[in-house]
Structure 1
Amino acid sequence: MTTPSLLDILQSTDMLEINGLHAWEFVLVPQALVAAQAALAAGQGGDAEQLLLQIECMDGRTRRVWKFSSAAVLAASFDDASQCWSLSDADGVQQLNCLSAISASADDELDDEPAANA
């Protein structure tokens, strides 16, 4: 079984953890996403200049921001031992863990029979 690309995983991820910090916001830039998907389908690397992923989190009282190009996201590698993705930016190699949130539906199923008042 092959591991999906980080780009595929990011499109269905609800939460991210970067270097052990929970990200409170992450954005995939729509225009860059389309170009990166086309590059991935063609088996090519992404654009090293085009911003694709931006992650923000708080480290104590410090706001931290990471920016990754489409080339960095497409070149990311998955480590089975840590279950994290390694990708590079201007500050070096970052460890990214993609998480899925559990969410409940806001639509309650209505019973066929009305509840009896006691």
Structure 2
Amino acid sequence: MSYHCVFPIQRLTAMTAVPQTLLDVLEHHCDMVLIDDLHAFEFSLDEHDNLHIECIDGRDAKHWEFTPAQVEAATFDPTLKSWLITNDTGEHRLVCVDAIGGDNEDDDHEDA
């Protein structure tokens, strides 16, 4: 028995292409963010393109904010596949994760 998996070429290109800017990655190719090795439960760009990231570290809620200039100045580290971004509190490492979606086709067949 063999399995064959087909991925759309757009999906492969988005994941293997060298990112142009952090803003582009956040807007088009990112579903989850890790900041300083912490999983952020929420990240967003506001109407002024300020980046807001929130996470829980134990019992502590943490929040980071980056200006558009700081987001634009972020640099990509191809070795670690992450972004280095600096704000008033120092340098932070961001990993942008593109989630893989699935369907619940099996569940639909079970209900029928």
TM range (shorter): 0.7 to 0.9
Q: Which runs of 5+ in 1 are unaligned?
A: 34-51, 112-118
Per-residue CA deviation, residues 27-77 of structure 1 (Å, 9 max, x unaligned), is 111x223xxxxxxxxxxxxxxxxxx10000011111000000000000000
Equivalent position amino acid for 1:7 in 2: L
SS in 2 for 1:10: helix
Equivalent position amino acid for 2:26 in 1: L
* Aligned positions of 1:21-32 closer than 5 A: 21-29=38-46, 31-32=47-48
Residue matched to 2:21: 5
Q: Report the TM-score, using the length of structure 2 for normalisation.
A: 0.73
Structure with bigger helix share is: 2
Residue matched to 1:92: 90
RMSD of the TM alignment (CA)? 2.0
- Structure number with greater CO (CA < 8 Å, separation at least 6) is 1
Q: Is 2:84 the partner of 1:67? A: no
Residue matched to 1:79: 77
Larger Rg: 1
SS in 2 for 1:7: helix
Identity %: 38
User: How far 1:6 moved relative to its partner?
Assistant: 0.4
Equivalent position amino acid for 1:81 in 2: T
